[in-house]
Amino acid sequence: MDIAAILGAIVNEMRGIADRGMLPGYIPPLTQVDPQRFGMAVTMADGRMHVAGDADEAFSIQSISKVYALMLALETCGDPIWQRVRQEPSGTAFNSIVQLESEHGIPRNPFINAGALVIADILLTRFGAEGARARFLQFIRDRDDALPPIAFDEDMARVEYESGFRNAALANYMRTFGNIENPVDAVLKQYFLQCSVTMSCRQLAGTGRGLMRGRTAEPASRHVPTVLALMMMCGHYDGSGAFAVRVGLPGKSGVGGGILAIVPGIASIAVWSPGLNAQGNSLLGTLALEKLVRATGWSVFTPHCP
């Protein structure tokens, strides 16, 4: 299978599409990004990397960071975290508050904002503010030896902190149920820093190698199947069902326009197109993944190509 040729064809096709979705107006720096940008990268289990388009341009990973935060929390705090955040799809928007009242401040899953705020709180309790920041960055770096130094985009985090009233509301509300232990201010700062990390498609695909499991040389974490199952069910907010049907891979989106998708045992895929659909997921990123999966047979719901 000529993955490079498939990626090249997809990039060409995406370049010609006029409707590129909407930029997320509620995070001002993300409205400055050129919606014509499009990149894709695929890391194979044997380490081969295929890239196309703007695959080396860094973008804000935003909620893709929730995957790494969850993995770090699982590996350092273990299964007790599931007493504070559930494992169910929410069917609601990424920043929705509606379920929290009837469900006593326990978020449906770690990939909606409320759940990710609880995970940030867990990391703060475990490591303290400085430690949680350092451990989070180190955890991403440890995913891929080839990763150049990555850092928080402090300006991005500050802008989100100054205007993130909805996330502040979620954290304050959960605190009234005792499901946020640290000062809300500290939790928000940790969460926004995690979201602010910038990476390129090439780098993002590389960091997904551990999630591929199986044929990689790296020891697989026992938590990988859990994380992949949650990515499949909850990785695209209230668009998770449609993404599963169209793409058929565990994936996690971010409002920066990136998506990380995993083909278990076979490949780690990153795609970036800044315009979003109505659910806040990359419009063309989703379409490109659908096309890649159709060309390769990589959906987990169809027999894999060799």
Active-site position among 63, 90, 253, 268? 63
Q: Tell me: does residue 274 bind ligand GLU (CB under 6 A).
A: no
Residue 160 known to bind ligand: yes
Residue 121 within binding range of ligand GLU, rule CB under 6 A: no
Residue 271 assigned to a binding site: no
Residue whose CB is less far from ligand GLU, 185 or 218: 185
Listed in sequence order, the DSSP H helices in the chain are 3-15, 65-77, 98-102, 113-141, 154-163, 165-176, 184-196, 201-207, 209-212, 224-234, 240-246, 283-296
Residue 3 CA to residue 217 CA, distance in Å, equals 22
Q: Do 20 and 302 contact (CB within 8 A), yes or no?
A: no
**Residue 247 corresponds to which tokens in the numbers above?**
């793409």
Closer residue to ligand GLU, CB minimum distance, 68 or 298: 68
Burial string for 33-61 (b: 16+ CB within 10 Å, else e) reads: bebebbbbbbbbbeeebbbbbbbebbbbb
Number of residues located near ligand GLU, criterion CB under 6 A: 11
d(CA 99, CA 252): 21
Choice between 24 and 264, CB closer to ligand GLU: 24
Cα separation, 120 vs 214, in Å, equals 29
**Is residue 190 involved in binding ligand GLU (CB under 6 A)?**
no
255 contacts ligand GLU (rule: CB under 6 A): yes
Task: Tell me, yes or no, if 63 is annotated catalytic.
Answer: yes
Query: Which CB sits closer to ligand GLU, 226 or 279?
Result: 279
Q: In the set 254, 264, 274, 285, which binds ligand GLU (CB under 6 A)?
A: 254
Q: Which is the catalytic residue, given 66, 200, 252, 253?
A: 66
Give 276's DSSP letter: B
255 is in an annotated binding site: yes
Work out which of 153, 160, 238, 290 binds ligand GLU, going by CB under 6 A.
Answer: 160
191 has catalytic annotation: yes
Q: Which of 38, 59, 68, 94 binds ligand GLU (CB under 6 A)?
A: 94
Q: Is 101 exposed, middle or buried (0-12, 13-18, 19+ CB in 10 A)?
A: exposed
- Catalytic status, residue 273: no
Query: What residues numbered 27-66 form the site for ligand GLU, per CB under 6 A?
Result: 62-63
- For ligand GLU, which is the closer residue by CB, 38 or 94? 94
What Cα–Cα distance (Å) separates residue 112 from each residue in 96, 131, 176? 8, 24, 19
Tell me if 167 is assigned to a ligand binding site: yes
**Catalytic choice (184, 224, 255, 300):** 255
What is the closest distance, in whole angstroms, from the C-beta atom of residue 159 to ligand GLU in the complex? 10
Q: Is 240 annotated as a binding residue?
A: no
CA distance 38 to 122: 35
Report the side by side order of strands in the sheet with 258-263: 49-53, 39-44, 267-272, 258-263, 251-253
Catalytic residues: 63, 66, 191, 237, 255
Annotated binding site: 63, 113, 160, 167, 191, 237, 255
Tell me which residues touch ligand GLU (CB under 6 A): 62-63, 94-95, 113, 160, 167, 195, 254-255, 280
